[in-house]
């Protein structure tokens, strides 16, 4: 292994924030020097095409994982919700950063001046038929219940590009992950937060994952030592649930795990129909020692209550779909 640890990342502002944060943490532990290697992915190249038309979210990680497997980089930093639940052979998630705010946020045009708005206030300001920009099947499926007359429009590009489109009049509102806005110091643009119960986040939302080769023992040990335990347990529960329902990157699936006052775990999840009001939700509790077991149990409840039929319908649907997030 080289003396310099090469950190692979996409080149977007948010991806570079994530990689730079990991680099600083590693170097503070005495791992130095670290080098950031920017890798352009197909997801970055195909900015104008809906992700559902070009292969889904894994386009944002495939080239980076290939570079990791080929030894061109030593570790990779990702938004965990971009990662497939089944990783390429020989790779694993060895560490995670502390979870940022997992909620979705509503952003109105800069001229609105609205901040800290409740869901009811947002609904009133947006009116009966707002144009809402989001590139997420999950959000569209859940928010149809909150904004029944809304027109949901796809939006691609980095955060600043999306905000420019909003302020330019292309949309009446955007729905984005709060974590990305906050990390890029755009939190002041958030008009209101969607409560987890109103719009259950994407599995892994707000968690930065660090991936490396399974045979890289020193790197693995270092990443395990720097990993945030609370975020790690939540991510393991949420990814286990996705795996158990056979989920992918283009499904209307939300899952969020949080810690309870007694040291246990609580996992809430939902699967929502794209074409009706049908939604299946499940809530489960478990021990911190077995997050995967909790995820599997909650998945079983979803499937037992009819989530499988909704997911099968989405998989067979031949109309246009936005990507998961």
Catalytic site positions: 82
Q: Determine the Cα–Cα distance for residues 1 and 103; give it in Å rounded to an integer.
A: 39
Closest by alpha carbon to 75, among 232, 228, 210? 210
What residues have CB less than 8 Å from 164, skipping those under 6 apart? Answer: none
Helices (H), strands (E): how many in the chain? 12, 13
Helix residue ranges, H only, the chain: 13-28, 42-45, 51-54, 62-69, 119-126, 137-146, 159-167, 178-183, 217-226, 229-244, 291-304, 307-316
Q: Determine the Cα–Cα distance for residues 11 and 77; give it in Å rounded to an integer.
A: 11
Q: What is the DSSP string of 107-142?
A: E--GGG---S--HHHHHHHH-SS-EEE---HHHHHH
Triad 226, 60, 215: Cα angle to 5°? 45
Q: What is the DSSP string of 30-50?
A: T---EEEEE---HHHH-TTS-
Decide if 101 contacts 206 (C-beta within 8 A). yes
Looking at the DSSP bridge assignments, the partners of residue 272 are 279
Q: Determine the Cα–Cα distance for residues 291 and 294; give it in Å rounded to an integer.
A: 5
């Amino acid at each position: 292994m080289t003396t310099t640890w090469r950190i692979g990342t996409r080149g977007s502002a948010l991806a570079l924030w994530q990689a730079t944060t990991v680099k600083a943490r590693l170097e503070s532990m005495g791992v130095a020097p670290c080098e950031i290697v920017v890798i352009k992915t197909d997801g970055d190249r195909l900015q104008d095409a809906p992700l559902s038309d070009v292969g889904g979210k894994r386009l944002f990680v495939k080239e980076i994982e290939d570079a990791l497997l080929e030894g061109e980089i030593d570790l990779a930093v990702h938004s965990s919700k971009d990662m497939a639940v089944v990783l390429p052979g020989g790779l694993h998630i060895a560490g995670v950063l502390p979870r940022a705010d997992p909620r979705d946020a509503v952003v109105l045009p800069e001229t609105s001046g609205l901040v800290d708005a409740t869901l009811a206030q947002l609904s009133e300001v947006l009116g009966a038929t707002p144009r809402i920009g989001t590139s997420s099947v999950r959000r569209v499926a859940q928010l149809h219940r909150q904004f029944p007359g809304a027109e949901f429009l796809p939006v691609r590009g980095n955060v600043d590009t999306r905000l420019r489109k909003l302020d330019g009049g292309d949309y009446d509102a955007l729905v984005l992950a709060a974590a990305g806005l906050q990390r890029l110091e755009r939190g002041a643009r958030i008009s209101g937060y969607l409560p987890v119960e109103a719009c259950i986040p994407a599995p892994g939302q707000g968690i930065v994952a660090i991936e490396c080769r399974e045979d890289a023992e020193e790197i693995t040990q270092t990443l395990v030592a720097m990993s945030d335990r609370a975020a790690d347990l939540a991510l393991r529960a949420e990814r286990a649930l996705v795996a158990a329902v056979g989920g992918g990157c283009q499904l209307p699936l939300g899952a969020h795990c949080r810690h309870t006052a007694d040291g246990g775990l609580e996992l809430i999840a939902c699967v929502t129909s794209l074409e009706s009001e049908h939604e299946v939700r499940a809530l489960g509790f478990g021990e911190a020692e077995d997050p995967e077991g909790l995820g599997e149990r909650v998945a079983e409840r979803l499937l037992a209550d009819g989530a499988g039929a909704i997911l099968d319908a989405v998989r067979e649907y031949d109309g246009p779909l936005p990507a998961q997030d």
